[in-house]
């Protein structure tokens, strides 16, 4: 049986990567959306194993020591990470796994899993990205500037990815990501002698 793909999707905040991933998951039942582990407490309606794998900080740190994460980070006093066992089980079963993570996490994945298909979602321009972030209504001037500076830093990491997709039109961007997945699924893997 052919192994599945690990597909990593990254891009700046506000670029639409979550919407693209959700569209792909809803359209393609053969793609599994990775569920992250976290030490933060569950919010109302969140389900262990579906929303997140909710772990104690002690358990999370033990898993770090045991090298059980393909990537992890500490964000706002909570840990977040992707469990290797869950990802590898799906891939070995022939499922394609979609992992939507930030650039730092993506680089950790690339380091540990060289076969990962790395896709970076670009905004049409930084001006359009700024308008999208403002449209969310959740940022003040200070945090907006921080997000835009971070976006530029993330875009500067583009050379670490296999593909880039510009999200000027959601439908087109989704088709392009889907085309990448189809092409990668059909790729012939040459075994090294």
The CATH number of 6-186 is: 3.40.50.300
Quick check: 14 and 129 in contact, CB under 8 A? yes
Quote the pLDDT of residue 67. Answer: 96
**Percent composition of the chain: helix, strand, coil (DSSP 3-state, to 5):** 45, 20, 35
Angle among Cα 4, 33, 109 to the nearest 5 degrees reads 65
Q: Where are the domains of the chain?
A: 6-186
Quote the pLDDT of residue 5. Answer: 96
Euclidean distance between CA atoms 50 and 33, whole angstroms: 10
pLDDT by 10-residue block (mean), the chain, 193 residues: 92 91 90 93 89 95 96 89 94 94 92 95 91 78 84 93 96 97 88 66
Quote the pLDDT of residue 193. Answer: 63
Quote the pLDDT of residue 192. Answer: 67
């Amino acid at each position: 049986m052919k192994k599945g793909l690990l597909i990593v999707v990254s891009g700046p905040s506000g670029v639409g990567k979550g919407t693209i991933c959700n569209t792909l998951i809803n359209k393609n039942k053969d793609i599994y959306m990775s569920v992250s582990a976290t030490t933060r407490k569950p919010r109302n309606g969140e389900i262990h194993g579906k929303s997140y794998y909710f772990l104690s900080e002690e358990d999370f740190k033990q898993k770090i020591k045991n090298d059980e994460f393909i990537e992890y980070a500490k964000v706002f006093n909570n840990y977040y990470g992707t469990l290797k066992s869950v990802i590898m089980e799906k891939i070995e079963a022939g499922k394609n796994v979609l992992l939507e993570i930030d650039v730092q996490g993506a680089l950790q994945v690339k380091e540990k899993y060289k076969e990962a298909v790395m896709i970076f979602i670009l905004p049409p321009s930084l001006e359009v990205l700024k308008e999208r972030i403002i449209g969310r209504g959740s940022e003040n001037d200070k945090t907006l500037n921080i997000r835009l500076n971070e976006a530029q830093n993330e875009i500067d990491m583009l050379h670490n990815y296999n593909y880039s997709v510009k999200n000027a039109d959601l439908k087109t961007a989704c088709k392009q990501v889907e085309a990448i997945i189809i092409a990668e699924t059909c790729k012939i893997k040459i075994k090294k002698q």
